[in-house]
């Protein structure tokens, strides 16, 4: 007789379980091991500042490749086809924007976090408090898809386990890990995690393609509106289920993802196309600008020893994540032909689990190898949501402990108290993230990450971009723009989620107003200009309040580090005006 407590263990594939279990144990173990080497408070925040380019690039990539990249992209390519390709492309390309406009100056300015930058650039502790709020907003939006990834993966490994069980289990393990380990552990663990994820996505893809036929063969089996399918002998195709999108809509641009709102309003294909174009541009804008505004990514630029190293790091990050992003869509394409039954399922059992389940098909031909491959992708999924979740948790916890506690509530706290505050904050943030995670089973992983990007694009991106390149920005201008754009994006995405989760019924309204639906679902196209516009107008109105030492600040941001202006600036600042 099986103890009812362990009933969820029924139907578990031992290979898959073993691979996942090893990943979790190694990750947690590395966290604890490195916790011993990071004793001081500053170690917790920026990892002692000396990390080599290779390690740092791997660590940034490891942190960046979240559940959305590992599971969500494949799931969305399978469910929506071509339009979903914008996600991996823009996830990778957003880094270019970061490199071109923001990484260098911010690194020269030398603040720990975006709130540090906001305070330093405007000499305003008040502005810092406003800026720090968005670390939490964006962070929580980004943790929700990670939690969905966790719930989906555990529901796949343990067929008897409810979705929320996985969310709680993974959430608790990582929260404890962060509370005890801090960021020093995270750098090392993240770098390892990148290579684990790369291995876990690429090896099963090659094996799958070797067994079932190549990427182009499977894509060729799908007919477009103008060209028939190209049949390759090795490529089999199972009949599509009723809920699956038709071939010609799936493989072509402006498919189900971007036309959904217009179709719900009863528009024809031709009428829907302009809406679809608008949706696409807004999505691109959110993802490209949003990357530059992600709080947990920027922190790592300060762990580079100098500006040249920071640039080299960014180059390597783009190569590392660019190679990675070629693979997930392959799962989506093969999945459409081999596992179409996933189209009929929803929530944790839907297309978001294609990466986990597809390799198991190999079992049909080569015995246990399918389970092993599936175990590998499960291990990669664990690496994905665990690393991103812990990176976010560190950023959000630092915001709470370093900013809210250390600067606002108890500026005179002793180091021991600060360390304790870090641990307590980690538990609070982790708890809220778990709670939110249990609510979002029916939203697509990738879609939710896109929302976090949209909020970052309308708040932090304009703040950073304008502060770095426009000297006439005032504190009031920056704050108004960031709040205006960011809160508008936050409101839109929240409404969409509440509506899609059926907490409020807006379907009748959306059906009559497809344009509003699109502008809410992908708000970046109007919220980013709104934020920048507000910044310019309000700064002009308050032009007298431009910081008096603005020329020196701009020099520190833009002059090469070899000139040593930073040290000079710090000395003057310490000596001079009211600090």
Partner 1 sequence: MPPPTPAHDDVVHSESFLRLLMRRQLRLSIASAAAFLVALLGMPLLNYFAPTFMATRVGGFTLSWLILGVLFFPFVWIISWIFIQRSIALEDEEVAEVRRGKEQAK
48 binds partner 1 (CB under 8 A): no
Cα–Cα distance between 104 and 298 in angstroms, integer? 11
Q: Check residue 213 and give left, alpha or beta (phi > 0: left; psi -120 to 50: alpha).
A: left
Whether the CB-CB separation of 528 and 279 falls below 8 Å is answered with no
Segment near partner 1 (CB under 8 A), from 171-179, 189-197, 248-256, 382-390? 248-256
Output 269 or 346, the one with its CB closest to partner 1: 269
Segment near partner 1 (CB under 8 A), from 33-41, 264-272, 453-461, 552-560? 552-560
Sites for partner 1 among residues 250-269 (CB under 8 A)? 251-254
Binding mask 361-400 for partner 1 (x = CB under 8 A): ----------------------------------------
Cα–Cα distance between 489 and 524 in angstroms, integer? 7
Whether the CB-CB separation of 219 and 251 falls below 8 Å is answered with yes
Exactly one of 85, 176, 424, 432 binds partner 1 (CB under 8 A); which one? 85
219 binds partner 1 (CB under 8 A): yes
225 binds partner 1 (CB under 8 A): yes
- Minimum distance between the CB of residue 305 and partner 1, rounded to whole angstroms? 15
- Minimum distance between the CB of residue 415 and partner 1, rounded to whole angstroms? 28
Sites for partner 1 among residues 328-357 (CB under 8 A)? 329
Exactly one of 129, 418, 558, 566 binds partner 1 (CB under 8 A); which one? 558
Residue from 547, 480, 478, 551 nearest 118 by CA:
478
> What 3-state DSSP class applies to 286?
helix
Which structure tokens are listed for 421?
């505050």
Exactly one of 65, 186, 191, 318 binds partner 1 (CB under 8 A); which one? 318
Residue from 190, 202, 171 nearest 65 by CA:
190
Sites for partner 1 among residues 292-311 (CB under 8 A)? 307-308, 311
216 binds partner 1 (CB under 8 A): yes
Cα–Cα distance between 252 and 444 in angstroms, integer? 21
Cα–Cα distance between 38 and 370 in angstroms, integer? 41
290 binds partner 1 (CB under 8 A): no
Whether the CB-CB separation of 153 and 353 falls below 8 Å is answered with yes
- Minimum distance between the CB of residue 71 and partner 1, rounded to whole angstroms? 17
Segment near partner 1 (CB under 8 A), from 61-69, 140-148, 151-159, 560-568? 560-568
What burial class does residue 287 get, using C-beta atoms within 10 Å of its C-beta: 0-12 exposed, 13-18 middle, 19+ buried? buried
Exactly one of 322, 347, 533, 547 binds partner 1 (CB under 8 A); which one? 322
Whether the CB-CB separation of 77 and 219 falls below 8 Å is answered with no
101 binds partner 1 (CB under 8 A): yes
560 binds partner 1 (CB under 8 A): yes
Cα–Cα distance between 482 and 488 in angstroms, integer? 10
547 binds partner 1 (CB under 8 A): no
* Residue whose pair of structure tokens reads 């103890």 in the numeric block: 3
Sequence-distant (6+) residues with CB within 8 A of 508 are: none
- Minimum distance between the CB of residue 81 and partner 1, rounded to whole angstroms? 9
Output 503 or 579, the one with its CB closest to partner 1: 579
Binding mask 448-487 for partner 1 (x = CB under 8 A): ---------------------x------------------
- Minimum distance between the CB of residue 508 and partner 1, rounded to whole angstroms? 30
Which structure tokens are listed for 482?
């960031």
- Minimum distance between the CB of residue 301 and partner 1, rounded to whole angstroms? 14
551 binds partner 1 (CB under 8 A): yes
Which structure tokens are listed for 338?
């081999």
Exactly one of 146, 177, 280, 388 binds partner 1 (CB under 8 A); which one? 280
Exactly one of 15, 44, 82, 212 binds partner 1 (CB under 8 A); which one? 82
To the nearest 10°, report the CA torsion of 347, 136, 494, 275.
-90
- Minimum distance between the CB of residue 339 and partner 1, rounded to whole angstroms? 20
> CA 297, 311, 283: angle at the middle one, nearest 5?
50
554 binds partner 1 (CB under 8 A): yes
199 binds partner 1 (CB under 8 A): no
93 binds partner 1 (CB under 8 A): yes
Residue from 356, 550, 406, 461 nearest 134 by CA:
461
571 binds partner 1 (CB under 8 A): yes
Please report, in angstroms and rounded to a whole number, the separation of the first and last CA atoms in the chain: 70
Q: At what angle do helices 369-398 and 163-212 cross, to 10 degrees?
A: 130
Exactly one of 25, 126, 319, 537 binds partner 1 (CB under 8 A); which one? 319
Q: At what angle do helices 307-326 and 163-212 cross, to 10 degrees?
A: 70
Segment near partner 1 (CB under 8 A), from 177-185, 314-322, 342-350, 522-530? 314-322
- Alpha-helical runs (H) found in 221-305: 247-251, 256-264, 269-292, 295-298
Whether the CB-CB separation of 284 and 86 falls below 8 Å is answered with yes
Which structure tokens are listed for 518?
């699109």
559 binds partner 1 (CB under 8 A): yes
99 binds partner 1 (CB under 8 A): yes
495 binds partner 1 (CB under 8 A): no
Instruction: Quote the DSSP letter at residue 240.
Output: P
Q: Which residues bind partner 1 (CB under 8 A)?
A: 82, 85-86, 88-90, 92-93, 95-97, 99-101, 104, 214-220, 224-227, 230, 232, 251-254, 273, 277, 280-281, 284, 288, 307-308, 311-312, 314-315, 318-319, 322-323, 325-326, 329, 469, 551-552, 554-555, 558-560, 562-563, 565, 568, 571-572, 575-576
């Amino acid at each position: 007789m099986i103890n009812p407590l362990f009933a969820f263990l029924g139907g578990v594939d031992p290979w898959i379980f073993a691979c996942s279990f090893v990943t979790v144990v190694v990750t947690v173990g590395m966290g604890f091991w490195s916790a011993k080497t990071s004793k001081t408070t500053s170690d917790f925040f920026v990892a002692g500042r000396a990390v080599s380019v290779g390690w740092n690039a791997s660590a940034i990539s490891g942190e960046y490749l979240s559940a959305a990249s590992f599971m969500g992209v494949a799931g969305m390519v399978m469910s929506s086809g071509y339009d979903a390709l914008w996600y991996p492309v823009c996830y990778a390309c957003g880094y270019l924007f970061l490199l071109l406009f923001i990484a260098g100056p911010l690194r020269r300015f030398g603040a720990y976090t975006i709130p540090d930058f906001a305070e330093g650039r405007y000499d305003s502790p008040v502005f810092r408090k406003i800026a720090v709020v968005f670390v939490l907003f964006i962070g929580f939006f980004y943790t929700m898809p990670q939690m969905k990834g966790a719930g989906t993966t555990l529901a796949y490994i343990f067929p008897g386990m409810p979705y929320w069980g996985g969310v709680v289990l993974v959430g608790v393990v990582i929260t404890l890990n962060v509370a005890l380990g801090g960021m020093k552990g995270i750098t090392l663990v993240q770098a390892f995690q990148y290579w684990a994820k790369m291995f876990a996505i690429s090896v099963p893809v090659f094996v799958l393609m070797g067994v079932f036929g190549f990427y182009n063969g499977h894509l060729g089996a799908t007919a477009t509106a103008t060209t028939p399918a190209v049949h390759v002998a090795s490529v089999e195709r199972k009949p599509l289920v009723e809920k699956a999108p038709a071939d010609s809509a799936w493989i072509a641009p402006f498919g189900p993802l971007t036309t959904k709102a217009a179709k719900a309003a009863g528009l024809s294909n031709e009428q829907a196309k302009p809406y679809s174009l608008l949706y696409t541009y807004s999505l691109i804008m959110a993802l490209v600008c949003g990357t530059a505004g992600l709080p947990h990514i920027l922190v790592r630029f300060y762990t580079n020893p100098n500006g040249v190293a920071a640039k080299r790091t960014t180059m390597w990050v783009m190569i590392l994540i660019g190679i990675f992003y070629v693979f997930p869509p392959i799962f989506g394409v093969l999945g459409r032909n081999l596992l179409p039954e996933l189209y009929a399922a929803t929530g944790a059992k839907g297309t978001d689990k294609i990466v986990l389940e597809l390799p198991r098909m190999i079992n049909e031909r080569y015995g246990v190898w399918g389970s092993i491959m599936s175990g590998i992708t499960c291990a990669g999924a664990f690496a994905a949501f665990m690393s991103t979740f812990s990176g976010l948790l560190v950023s959000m916890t630092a915001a709470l402990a370093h900013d809210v506690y250390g600067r606002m509530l108890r500026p005179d706290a002793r180091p021991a108290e600060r360390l304790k505050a870090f641990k307590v904050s980690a538990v609070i943030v982790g708890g809220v993230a778990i709670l939110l995670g249990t609510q979002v089973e029916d939203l697509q992983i990738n879609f939710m990450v896109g929302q976090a990007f949209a909020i970052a694009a309308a708040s932090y991106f304009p703040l950073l971009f304008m502060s770095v390149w426009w000297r006439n920005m005032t504190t009031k201008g920056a704050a108004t723009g960031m709040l205006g754009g960011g809160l508008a994006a936050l409101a839109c995405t929240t409404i969409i989620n509440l509506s899609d989760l059926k907490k409020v019924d807006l379907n009748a309204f959306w059906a009559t107003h497809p344009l509003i639906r699109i502008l809410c679902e992908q708000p970046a196209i109007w919220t980013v200009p709104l934020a920048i516009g507000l910044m310019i107008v309000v700064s002009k109105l308050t032009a007298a309040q431009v910081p008096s030492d603005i020329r020196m600040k701009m020099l520190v941001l833009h002059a090469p580090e070899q000139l040593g202006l930073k040290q000079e600036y710090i000395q003057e600042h310490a000596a001079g005006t009211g600090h």
